[in-house]
Amino acid sequence: MRILITGAAGFLGSHLSDRLIAEGHEIVGLDNFITGNRENIAHLMGSDKFTFYRHDVSNYIFVPGKVDAVLHFASPASPNPKSPSGYFNLPIQTMKAGALGTHNSLGVAKVNQARFLLASTSEIYGDPLVHPQTEDYPGNVDPVGPRAVYDEAKRFAESLTMAYHRQHGVDTRIVRIFNTYGPRMDLEDGRALPNFLKQALLGQPLTVYGDGQQTRSFCYVDDLIDGIVRLLYSDEHLPVNIGNPVEMTVLQFAETINKVTGNAAGVVFLVNERSERDPQQRRPDITRARSILGWEPKVGVEEGLRRTIPYFKEKLGLA
Ligand code: NAD
Ligand code: UDP
């Protein structure tokens, strides 16, 4: 297939490009570098399997030649209010990437009669009142809350994707991605793993926000990409959760990182740093992914951290 990936220079978009090229596909990557990094795709530049266009997906997308699939991954993704690349600081760009960017990407899929896959998120469940989250749970969100620019853009993107499927017959898929980590994450984007791993490798205490009792489930990037590729090859049109169902508190996650890195500096609790509406609990129910895609994650958190550390060391000049 010739596959268009929006957000190709991002953490997930670049891994997806690698995996699909390895499977023999050709990739057309789009990115405006608002949160991504040229270095993530430097190794693909010059390959006859990879073409890149610098483009903002909020504007009309024209791709020369036939496209067989469109994977829409372009969007800021970090919820940290202090990070310049977080969606709190890019509110309008985030809404435009989710709304106009999804519309334009769906337009490319429609005109090409191509498959379409939307990168949605566990954030559409908001601060969930049902645990673990199944795909039929509609969520607990606030349209004017601080996270709304991201949540509501993604919720709109899901609705628009289903509208194109139902009205125009576009062959769509929706993946709801839960917290994912691995090499090529932006060290400065303020998410828990980049903050913690950077701090641990520098011998500093890990900044746990609040009391650290809020939970998350962290998925290693190779597992996530495998689930997404299986979804792309499937015929499933309704949303599918992809994430690691092993739930831990943020404090346990920090302690695991200290153990794996041998950091003796411990943790520091920053009680006022938790952002408003930071979800208290989050864990995917992956029953649908297991039954429809035959997928489940294989990489445990300690192994995933060991695979991620060399990248962080290189970026920190410690390699
Ligand atoms: P990222 O910031 O590394 O990648 C996003 C990419 O999209 C960046 O390269 C950025 O420059 C690009 N982009 C943003 N707006 C754009 C625009 N208007 N035009 C063109 N390019 C644009 O983030 P990521 O973690 O790789 O996330 C990728 C996708 O996966 C996002 O849609 C995000 O919402 C979703 N997601 C990620 C996670 C996760 O844990 N990483 C969880 C849930 C959902
Ligand atoms: N967090 C933390 N310390 C940090 C960064 C994040 O304790 O330095 C917490 C954050 O408050 C949240 C969890 O870790 O409860 C996961 O945050 P992240 O930004 O990775 O993504 P989210 O799951 O909130 O989308």
Mean pLDDT by 10 residues, the chain (319 residues): 98 98 98 96 97 98 97 94 89 98 98 98 94 96 93 98 98 98 95 97 98 97 98 98 97 98 98 88 96 98 98 96
Both tokens of residue 289?
């992914």
Pocket mutation for ligand 1, best pick of 73, 152, 184, 244 (most atoms within 8 Å of C-beta)? 73
Q: State residue 276's pLDDT score.
A: 80
**CB under 8 A, 24+ apart: contacts of 51-54:** 51/26, 51/27, 52/8, 52/9, 52/28, 53/28, 53/29, 54/30
Give the number of the atom of ligand 1 that is nearest the alpha carbon of residue 33.
Answer: 11
Q: State residue 82's pLDDT score.
A: 85
Question: Which ligand has the nearest atom to the CA of 124?
Answer: 1
Give the number of the atom of ligand 1 that is nearest the alpha carbon of residue 94.
Answer: 15
Q: State residue 226's pLDDT score.
A: 98
Specify the residue with its C-alpha closest to ligand 1, atom 29. 73
Q: Which helix (H) or strand (E) holds 225?
A: helix 221-233
CA of residue 32 to ligand 1 center, whole Å: 11
Q: How many CB atoms lie within 10 A of CB 272?
A: 6
Question: Which ligand has the nearest atom to the CA of 219?
Answer: 1
The closest alpha carbon to 76, from 156, 163, 9, 5, belongs to 9
Give the number of the atom of ligand 1 that is nearest the alpha carbon of residue 96.
Answer: 18
Pocket mutation for ligand 1, best pick of 31, 37, 75, 89 (most atoms within 8 Å of C-beta)? 75
Q: State residue 308's pLDDT score.
A: 98
Q: State residue 275's pLDDT score.
A: 83
The closest alpha carbon to 78, from 168, 188, 155, 177, belongs to 188
* DSSP per-residue letters across 54-97: E--TTS----SS--SEEEE--S--B--TT-TTBTTSSHHHHHHH
Q: How many CB atoms lie within 10 A of CB 101?
A: 27
CA of residue 192 to ligand 2 center, whole Å: 4
Q: State residue 80's pLDDT score.
A: 85
Cα 70 to Cα 57, 143, 144: the distances in Å are 12, 28, 30
Ligand 2 cavity residues, CB under 6 Å = 79-80, 179, 191-192, 195, 207-209, 214, 216, 250, 274, 278
Give the number of the atom of ligand 2 that is nearest the alpha carbon of residue 199.
Answer: 8
Specify the residue with its C-alpha closest to ligand 2, atom 19. 191
Q: Is the dihedral of CA 61, 75, 50, 112 positive or negative?
A: negative
Q: State residue 285's pLDDT score.
A: 98
Q: State residue 155's pLDDT score.
A: 98
Active site residue 311: no
Q: State residue 20's pLDDT score.
A: 98
